[in-house]
Amino acid sequence: MQIPVDCELLEGHIEANESLLTGESDAILKVNGDSLLSGSFVTSGRAICKVIHVGKESYYRSSKRIWRQKIRAIKIDWPNFKNYLSYYHSFINFTLF
């Protein structure tokens, strides 16, 4: 089951896979007081949680927004980039063939 909101674990314990968020595929044991981030997957256990953030305020949505802003900030000088690629393409063709 995927966790849809950011929450705090109040009672119980679960193992959560946070690979979508952190890249780490190992399940992490979460106990009372630990936070669970939206986008994580519950692999085992039962718990009662208190919702902290939903929607645009959730960890998953805010990190997604930050990455979109970073991607938009990258500007490529296309004419020079094409010249750069064509130069190395011809160099590789010359050396291989």
Reported as a single tens digit per residue, the pLDDT across 13-53 is 999 998 877 788 889 999 999 988 888 899 999 999 999 98
pLDDT of residue 2: 84
Prediction pTM value: 0.57
What CA–CA distance (Å, rounded) separates 73 from 19?
A: 26
